[in-house]
């Protein structure tokens, strides 16, 4: 009888060991540093990014049932009401995607303790920071288990996060040591989300070789190949939420690495689309566009005052995408979005510029005065000269953030007049 029980016990143990080594691979999905770009933005083709596409891709990757989604902070870069709305919309979307943890970076913390509390509630308690001595006082977590991992968030600028929250900062190395020690105790692989540089991540990988993965922040595109420092994988998603990274973890090691550019080939997620539509309604309802600061300038005339004398130039303008720039915003629901409207109308920053499509219909679209400046004085008296322009007139909107592929030499012939 004892032999039978022993054999049965060995069989169970053998099955357990077998299942341990043949466990389904875990997909780790990295997002972060969206920097307020909840939607693709700009004139470059294809436009990349946005939380709706991101959510659609993540949901597909999560379909295996063995996944860990990480958000490495950098949610916004500003401090205004619209930034609060953006952060709230993002964490709602992430919570619906069952994010494992959301790191708090210094820019996120600048929204203030009240907004951090609001975000934590919307995120279902998934906001975290290892760099704050009393995270519970701000409804923040520290390290979170997810599958075979223990995940924690930290930053090179922990003092900045702690200062805004009126807390005591935990030095970065001490914060990471606590993550590694807790992971050891729980027999999990430690994963660090770092609002910090590649150099900082590489140093931490050398200092704490037990770290399985460090997700760091960077400008530009993510590396095309998997990077290791010792046995620690370093990875980044790049900037403005244009890409996510998917890694496969099996048998105690990261193997597969994939950078996914969030282009138009990916369909928008229905749930994220509802969150995003609600965000746009809030922006409209709170009339944020009307609250933008404006400067006193010379008076605008409107493009219709220009076409009588400048007929050749008017023909070029009427045939251009500049004329219909505002219609594009309307079709996308962004007609009242301060982030977008300035580059799609004429003179938004001026007390005499665009107010609304009904109040100032002659300033709808990118008109003559978007480049040439306020021109009522010139329209009333052609002897009043307007300044000569160079390609700098284009760069206010056609900048690297919004128009990464802009080339004046290639684009100017299309609107030469």
Q: What is the pLDDT of residue 23?
A: 65
95: closest CA among 56, 122, 55, 60? Answer: 122
Domains 25-278 and 294-415 share a fold: no
Dihedral angle, C-alpha 362, 364, 365, 366, nearest 10 °: 60
Q: Which residues of 177-201 are buried (b: 16+ CB within 10 A; e: fewer)?
A: ebbbebbeeeebbbbbbbbbebebb
Q: Does domain 294-415 have CATH number 1.10.1130.10?
A: yes
Phi and psi for 189 in degrees, rounded to 5?
Answer: -90, 125
**Residues sharing a CB contact under 8 Å with residue 105, sequence separation 6 or more, in sequence order:** 72, 73, 74, 75, 155, 157, 161, 195, 217
Q: What is the pLDDT of residue 21?
A: 39
| Tokens matching residue 154 | 């930290």
338: closest CA among 396, 295, 294, 288? Answer: 288
Q: What is the pLDDT of residue 406?
A: 82
Distance CA 21, CA 88 (A): 40
Could you state, in order of their start, the residue ranges of all structural domains in the chain? Answer: 25-278, 294-415
191: closest CA among 157, 221, 214, 170? Answer: 214
**What's the angle, vertex CA 39, arms to CA 410 and CA 118, rounded to 5?**
150
pLDDT tens digit at each of 417 positions of the chain: 433 433 444 343 334 433 333 467 899 999 999 999 999 887 777 889 999 999 999 999 999 789 999 999 999 999 999 999 999 999 999 999 999 999 999 999 999 999 999 999 999 999 999 999 999 888 899 999 999 999 999 999 999 999 999 999 999 999 999 999 999 999 999 999 999 999 999 999 999 999 999 999 999 999 999 999 999 999 999 999 999 999 999 999 998 999 999 999 999 999 999 999 999 999 999 999 999 999 999 999 999 999 889 998 888 888 888 989 999 889 889 999 999 999 999 999 999 999 999 999 999 999 999 999 999 999 999 888 888 887 888 888 888 778 878 888 888 888 888
- Fold held by 25-278: Purple Acid Phosphatase; chain A, domain 2 (3.60.21)
């Amino acid at each position: 009888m004892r032999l039978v029980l022993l054999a049965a016990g060995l069989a169970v143990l053998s099955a357990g060991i077998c299942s341990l080594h043949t466990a389904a691979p875990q997909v780790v999905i990295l997002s972060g540093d969206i920097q307020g770009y909840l939607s693709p933005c700009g004139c470059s083709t294809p436009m990349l990014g946005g939380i709706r596409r991101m959510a659609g891709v993540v949901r597909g990757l999560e379909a295996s049932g063995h996944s860990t989604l990480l958000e490495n902070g950098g949610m916004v870069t500003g401090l205004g009401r619209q930034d609060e709305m953006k952060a709230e919309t993002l964490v709602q979307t992430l919570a619906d995607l069952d994010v494992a943890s959301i790191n708090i970076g210094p820019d996120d913390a600048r929204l203030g303790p009240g907004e951090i509390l609001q975000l934590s509630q919307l995120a279902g308690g998934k906001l975290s920071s290892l760099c704050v001595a009393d995270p519970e006082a701000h409804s923040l977590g520290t390290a979170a288990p997810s599958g075979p991992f223990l995940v924690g968030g930290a930053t090179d600028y922990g003092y900045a996060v702690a200062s805004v929250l009126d807390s005591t900062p935990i030095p970065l190395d001490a914060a990471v040591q606590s993550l590694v020690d807790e992971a050891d105790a729980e027999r999990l692989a430690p994963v660090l989300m770092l609002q910090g540089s590649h150099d900082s991540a590489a140093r931490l990988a050398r200092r704490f070789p037990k770290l399985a993965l460090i997700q760091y922040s960077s400008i530009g595109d993510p590396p095309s190949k998997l990077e290791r420092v010792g046995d620690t994988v370093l990875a980044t998603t790049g900037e403005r939420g244009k890409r996510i990274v998917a890694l496969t973890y099996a048998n105690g090691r990261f193997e597969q690495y994939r950078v996914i550019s969030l282009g138009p080939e990916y369909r928008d997620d229905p749930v994220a689309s509802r969150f995003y539509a609600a965000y746009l309604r809030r922006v409209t309802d709170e009339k944020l566009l009307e609250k933008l600061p404006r400067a006193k300038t010379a008076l605008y005339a409107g493009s219709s005052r220009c076409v009588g004398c400048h007929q050749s130039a008017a023909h070029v303008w009427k045939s251009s995408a500049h004329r219909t720039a505002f219609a594009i915003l309307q079709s996308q629901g962004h007609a009242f979005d301060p982030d977008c409207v300035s580059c799609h109308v004429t003179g938004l920053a001026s007390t005499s510029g665009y107010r609304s499509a009904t109040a100032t219909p002659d300033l709808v679209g990118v008109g003559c005065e978007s480049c040439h400046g306020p021109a009522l004085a010139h329209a009333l008296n052609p002897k009043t000269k307007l300044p000569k322009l160079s390609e700098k007139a284009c760069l206010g909107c056609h900048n690297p953030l919004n128009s990464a592929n802009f080339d004046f030499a290639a684009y100017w012939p299309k609107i030469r007049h």
